[in-house]
Amino acid sequence: MLQSMRDGAQSWVLKTIFIGLLVLATAGLVLMDVGSFFRDGAPTTVAFEIEGQEFTTVELDRLVTAELRNQNLSLAQGLDQGIVDKIIEREVQSRLLLVEARDLGIRVSDTIVADQVRAMMDSMMGENAPVDEDSKAAVQQLLFQQYLNNLGLSEGQFVQYQKGQIASGMISNALFRTDFKPESYSQHLLAFENETRDAGMYKVRISDSDIPNPSDEDLQVFYDENKELYRTDELRSFSMISLTHESVLKELAIDEDLLREEYETRKSYGDYTTKGSRLLSQATLGTKEEAEKVLKAAKSKNDLRKAVEEVTGGTAAYITADRYARGELPKDIEEPVFSTSKKGLIGPLETGLGWFVVDLQDITKEETKSYNSVKQEIEADLKETRAADLLFETAYDVEDMLAGGATLEEVAKDMNLEMKTYADVDRSANIIGSKQKNNKIFDEDDIVGSRKVLKAVYETDEGLSTQLVENENGDFIIAFVDKVTPSVIPAFEDVQSELKKDWKENKKRELSREKANELITAYAETGDGIDFKTYKGIPRLTALGRENKSALDDLEVASLFQLQEINELVNLPDDEGHVIVKLNKVNVPAIDLSDTSLIEQKGNIARSFKEDIARDYFKALRDNMDITINDDTIALFYKKRLEQNY
């Protein structure tokens, strides 16, 4: 019985659910690697440890590699973006929950795991599940065994893994899925966030005519106190060549014999062969008599589904149309289906799973694509593969030539590469003294526009070449520093006109501040003397990102909400002098939590509340558990990995 089920079930059931099982396997076990079921067995180094449970660099690197592949990043790019730290944090939290579940005494029975596995199998089989309960149980067992075989796990290992996941999941659900409704907390916070204030504001201004002209002594003192403000930027002049994937592809040519050899190799693996297949729907019945009735009704109605429904009273025995190749059907069905050249009804057919009636709807013959039809595809694939290797080889050749005494110009000419030269470039990639509107040397989408390039240039002395730099696109750049213009503080005489202008601006701010303070002092004594302009209903600037649409700027609004007493004043600088802001009134709204306009804010508060609880919970777990993260070991491991990549 089991062998016949293997012949049959591996086709029409496995075909519809096996891919789904592999997805579950990959997502649930391979990436998590809980229980260390996927370790290579070779000596490894500990990346981090929780309560004596070790997590090796091999396991960490497997997760990092998977994450890089998902985000389409190189190892260098992933390290720059902190992928390793994020994965460590995620894994630490996951294992904290496992340890916490154990310490809390959460135990999961074998029955719960078995029910979960059966539910998973039922879900994946859907309508294709056998009607007979014994057959269904046998198919479930067969699928589960193949699932374990693909993962390389014993049943005991799988059960232990599931128990850990279910136990830690109970804690995770309590933290993240519970519907928290902190109504009192929400009411107070919403009142705080939606509070508005009425303000008075007076702008203190000093006219240019009120500002005296500075003496040479005034300017000299100002220069001595602020000379660092006039320091010039360090500048670099350099030449640069770049090696791109596209430039290497252009130079590549693939021999015709190699193309044909690759075609034959791929063809031998079946890459270009479309297997003969049959599109058919099926009906699986318990007895020959029932199958004969379905066949007769199907011929009459010209519809197998309606025939099954008429005879059996339902459609559970009907299997919707799908396409099958040889080897994907039970032998007792495959032979008559693939031996005929006519479409139509076939049956009844006896198999190990019962009696079948088949509606053969389409016949596709086996075909093999010709060499000419796939030549361009093969050539493009081989070029892509070889371009990556050639790009590295060429980059190293450039380094070797420069180390051997060749100039960058000689390298560019010898390798047919374009050389670009830039003069007086600052650290922000601006060309100092350029009269062009856009004076940056790198466009955002320019392959040489990597910040790494400029960083390398500024780390290299005059007359030397930079290290080989790989940018975000996987291209290689190398530069030669032609000249270094050091940062200097210009002499007093060279900046005298700027000094005079800056001294006056500084004096203007100083006089406006003094005038504002005098007005505030007089107002405190008399309650009068300042003609405030009134502004009402100014909302608070909150962490929710509310846009400031009031007449006051962000500093003025923030300072207004720092005031505690009605009629309290604050003196603030602005672009033209100073302003005096006065608190007139505090407007605290009455909050009705049923108000639909507050839905978004209430949602944000609830999410923040959950995040706070989770953060505090994990902090408490960390504080109470022995956790060791070997940063130096991890850094050394990935330093070696990067060296291997190059």
**What is the per-residue pLDDT for 35?**
39
CATH of the domain at 524: 3.10.50
**What is the per-residue pLDDT for 172?**
79
Q: How confident is the model at residue 22 (pLDDT cuts 50, 70, 90)?
A: very low
The answer, yes or no, to whether residue 103 has pLDDT greater than 80, is yes
Helix axes of 2-12 and 133-151: crossing angle, nearest 10 degrees: 70
The answer, yes or no, to whether residue 20 has pLDDT greater than 70, is no
The domain tally of the chain equals 4
Q: Is 552 in a helix, a strand, or coil?
A: coil
Give pLDDT tens digits for 214-261.
999 999 999 999 999 999 999 999 998 888 877 777 777 888 898 889
Domain-embedded: residue 305:
yes
**What is the per-residue pLDDT for 357?**
92
Residue 101 parent element (H or E): helix 83-103
Instruction: Give 228 or 437, the one with higher predicted confidence.
Output: 228
φ, ψ dihedrals at 575, nearest 5°: -65, -25
**What is the per-residue pLDDT for 222?**
94
Residue 477 parent element (H or E): strand 476-485
Q: Which of 339, 368, 397 is a domain's end point?
A: 368
Domain-embedded: residue 268:
no
CB 243 within 8 A of CB 394: yes
Give pLDDT tens digits for 458-496.
999 999 999 888 877 778 889 999 999 999 999 999 999
**What is the per-residue pLDDT for 529?**
87
User: Does the CA dihedral 631-637-640-641 come out positive or negative?
Assistant: negative
The answer, yes or no, to whether residue 275 has pLDDT greater than 50, is yes
Residues 378 and 480 grouped into a single domain: yes
**What is the per-residue pLDDT for 39?**
39
CB 391 within 8 A of CB 468: no
Residues 285 and 245 grouped into a single domain: no
DSSP β-ladder status, 277-285 and 476-485: unpaired
The answer, yes or no, to whether residue 443 has pLDDT greater than 70, is no
Residues 393 and 419 grouped into a single domain: yes
Work out the mean pLDDT of the chain and round it to a whole number.
82
Residues 574 and 506 grouped into a single domain: yes
Q: How confident is the model at residue 199 (pLDDT cuts 50, 70, 90)?
A: very high
Distance CA 123, CA 472 (A): 43
Specify the residue for token string 């589960």. 144
Residues 251 and 379 grouped into a single domain: yes
CB atoms within 10 A of CB 209: 6
Q: How confident is the model at residue 295 (pLDDT cuts 50, 70, 90)?
A: very high
Residue ranges making up the domain that contains 507: 196-212+495-587
Residues 450 and 533 grouped into a single domain: no
Residues 416 and 386 grouped into a single domain: yes
Distance CA 61, CA 66 (A): 8
Distance CA 190, CA 603 (A): 11
Domain-embedded: residue 311:
yes
Domain-embedded: residue 59:
no
Q: Which of 423, 452, 485 is a domain's end point?
A: 485
Residues 393 and 251 grouped into a single domain: yes
CATH of the domain at 327: 3.10.50.40
The answer, yes or no, to whether residue 33 has pLDDT greater than 50, is no
Residues 559 and 469 grouped into a single domain: no
The answer to which of 340-349, 389-398, 509-518, 569-578 has the lowest mean pLDDT is 389-398
What amino acid is encoded at 164 in this protein? G
The answer, yes or no, to whether residue 10 has pLDDT greater than 60, is no
Q: What is the rounded average pLDDT of the residues 120-138?
A: 72
**What is the per-residue pLDDT for 3?**
35
Angle ∠(40,36,106) on CA atoms, nearest 5: 175
CB 240 within 8 A of CB 422: yes
> Of 564, 499, 557, 570, whose CA–CA distance to 530 is shortest?
570
Domain-embedded: residue 412:
yes
Distance CA 619, CA 622 (A): 5
Residues 471 and 524 grouped into a single domain: no
The order of strands in the sheet holding 627-629 is: 53-56, 46-50, 627-629
**What is the per-residue pLDDT for 180?**
62
Residues 517 and 459 grouped into a single domain: no
Domain-embedded: residue 457:
yes
* Structure token digits, residue 201: 């504001």
Domain-embedded: residue 395:
yes
**What is the per-residue pLDDT for 129?**
66
Domain-embedded: residue 242:
yes
Residues 435 and 565 grouped into a single domain: no
**What is the per-residue pLDDT for 18?**
38
Instruction: Give 447 or 145, the one with higher predicted confidence.
Output: 145
Q: Which of 368, 385, 407 is a domain's end point?
A: 368
The answer to which of 147-156, 289-298, 410-419, 554-563 has the lowest mean pLDDT is 147-156
**What is the per-residue pLDDT for 452?**
82
**What is the per-residue pLDDT for 317?**
86
